[in-house]
Copies of this chain bind each other. A is one copy, B any other.
């Protein structure tokens, strides 16, 4: 197997100054990725947009890949924060409420930065971040599955892992396609309808 370049941040960036530089670099990378595409995201360009020198970039990130990885990581954390909050919130609520909330959160997650989401989805294999993204997926599955298990009595007899797989796949895809394909022209009414429908499908399936 080919040796992959390192993708972990080089230093802990404990000092405020360093932290600012690191943030500027990650932010610049995300912006370029969104506005100009992956091809344009060269290290010199990134440094320029971040307002630092290439040298500084390499002081904090060992490679271009590490930078993209950091963007992915940041994005995943934002999404996970939403998902965790939603699931905590609905922990004691009935399935219908919970599923509706989950569908809503899935759409919200995609709406944080739809273009970034798309570019990252494409670039993940390049960055060796598949592992991290899978960890992310696993966490979502674990959380959802835990909820479903706690609500077993509202549901028909069904393997929780399987149910989780089916439901998460469906919800994620509907959110993804809704946000990425319908693009800008996405009225609140349409969103509400889609949430209703997706919820109906999933709840119908679980009961």
A residues in contact (CB < 8 Å) with B: 37-39, 118-119, 122-123, 125-126, 162-163, 165-166, 169-170, 172-174, 176-177, 193-194, 197-198, 200-202, 204-205
Contact = CB atoms under 8 A, between A and B. Distances in A.
B162 A197 contact: yes
Given A170-B174, A204-B204, 8 more contacts: A122-B123, A122-B126, A166-B194, A166-B201, A169-B170, A169-B176, A170-B170, A170-B201
A197 B206 CA distance: 10
Contact of A125 (B122, B163, B174): B122
A201 B205 contact: yes
The 10 closest A-B pairs by CB, nearest first: A173-B173, A201-B205, A170-B170, A169-B173, A204-B204, A169-B177, A169-B174, A122-B122, A166-B197, A122-B125
A64 to B, nearest CB: 12
Q: Is the interface of A mostly helix, strand, loop or mixed?
A: helix
Contacts of A173: 169-170, 172-173
Contacts of A119: 125
A125 to B, nearest CB: 6
A106 to B, nearest CB: 12
Contacts of A176: 169
B165 A177 contact: yes
A129 to B, nearest CB: 13
A166 B174 contact: yes
13 contacts: A38-B126, A39-B126, A118-B125, A119-B125, A166-B174, A166-B201, A169-B173, A169-B174, A169-B177, A170-B201, A173-B173, A197-B205, A205-B205
